[in-house]
Amino acid sequence: MGSKKKNTGLILTGGGARGAYQAGVLQGIAEIAKARTQTLPCDIISGASAGALNVGFISATADNFSRAARQLSAFWSTLKAESVFRTDVRSLGRIGVNWATDLTLGNVRKRKQAVSLVDTTPLKALIASRVPFNGITKHLSSGILNAVEVSALDYTTSENVSFIMSRQPRAAWVHPRRRSAFTKIKADHLIASASIPLLFPPIEVESRFYGDGCVRNPAPLSPAIRLGARRLLIVGVRHGRNHHIDRTDLGATDRPTIARILGVVLNALVMDTVEYDIDRLTRMNKMVESVPPELREQLPLKQIDCLAIQPSADVGEIAGQHFKRLPTILQYLIGGMGNAVEAAELASYLLFEPAFCSYLTELGRQDAHNRKDEIEDYLFGGAR
């Protein structure tokens, strides 16, 4: 029995170290799918932020999904901060001084030096050495994949740009604040997409500077659908709890610290839109279902099946337990904005440490296995 792979989109969005969870989910899905298919059971791959890093690797190695998912999970589980950003006291100290100088001297200093909390120079070498980018072209040519897309924010035009590689010629699209660009995806595209504002620096791609692909991206499901997906498998990085539940450990009546405010803002920038888009898609599907079958073909909208997988535990709370694993000077810088509990959400983006990332990969793997029957039915049910 094969998969219902044709026109199935895999969507990976998330931020920073939270991307480890997606690797674990993919490993779990690969273990579930091993007896059914050797290749990735999705042919349209789309991602933003840290999800773009996972998109790059899994697309380049899609011919052996089991091995690719295992390697991606191992990559995250052994990842260390110094492989992602400079952690030496001199580099982090210089960044701290630049921030302090820019904020205190104001207009006296014409050329501003502070653009991010950390310097991600090591990440480019890491991605370039780990992702066999020629594999993306190979798998598009062979038909294993139909399209690959990663999004990034153009800081010059304030547009969210979808960088695309496609097996077939496709029309470009332009919408307010969103457009597509057909190009050969490289390490810079992935790193630009993963560059969370303020935490990571803007990345130059083809003479323009880009940042996190979740910013100004109100419809993160849209690129995959435009590229032909009629079914979506979405892997998020935030606990799917009721967000109205109070975090009593934060102190609801206390004045929020800078750390807590930044955590809320980053979550809104990086994670809220995919949840809103899933909700919008669900409502659209219900509207289509309400129309008699004989009239549905006349509708401009089509039903898009959707399966979303989210962490079964709160990643922010997990990060709070691992706060002391951050590089010492980062603990000092972030600690000045709030205590470990208040800074937990912020820390979850920067905790590129084996203990934290391996915890997330195993959580993702277990979450996938806990939904084994649902995943099997969605990817393979009724396939021949």
165 touches 183 (CB < 8 A)? yes
What is the C-alpha R_g of the chain? 21
Nearest to residue 344, comparing CAs of 243, 276, 267?
267
Digit-coded pLDDT (tens) for 211-243: 999 999 999 999 999 999 999 999 999 987 545
| CA 272/CA 238 separation, integer angstroms | 9
pLDDT at 125 over 50: yes
Assigned CATH class of 8-85+120-239+256-380:
alpha beta
Residue with tokens 């390697």: 71
Digit-coded pLDDT (tens) for 256-295: 888 889 889 888 888 888 999 999 999 998 988 888 887 8
Residue with tokens 């502070």: 114
Structure tokens at 78: 């052994």
pLDDT at 111 over 70: no
Please give the residue that has the higher pLDDT: either 329 or 242.
329
pLDDT at 244 over 60: no
- pLDDT band per the 50, 70, 90 thresholds, residue 86: confident
Angle at 122 between CA 147 and CA 81, to 5 degrees: 100
Please give the residue that has the higher pLDDT: either 356 or 244.
356
The pLDDT of residue 85 is 87
Record the pTM: 0.90
| CA 244/CA 122 separation, integer angstroms | 39
pLDDT at 373 over 80: yes
| CA 160/CA 158 separation, integer angstroms | 7
The pLDDT of residue 269 is 84
The pLDDT of residue 53 is 98
The pLDDT of residue 384 is 37
Digit-coded pLDDT (tens) for 2-44: 556 789 999 999 889 999 999 999 999 999 999 899 999 999 9
Digit-coded pLDDT (tens) for 173-189: 998 889 999 999 999 99
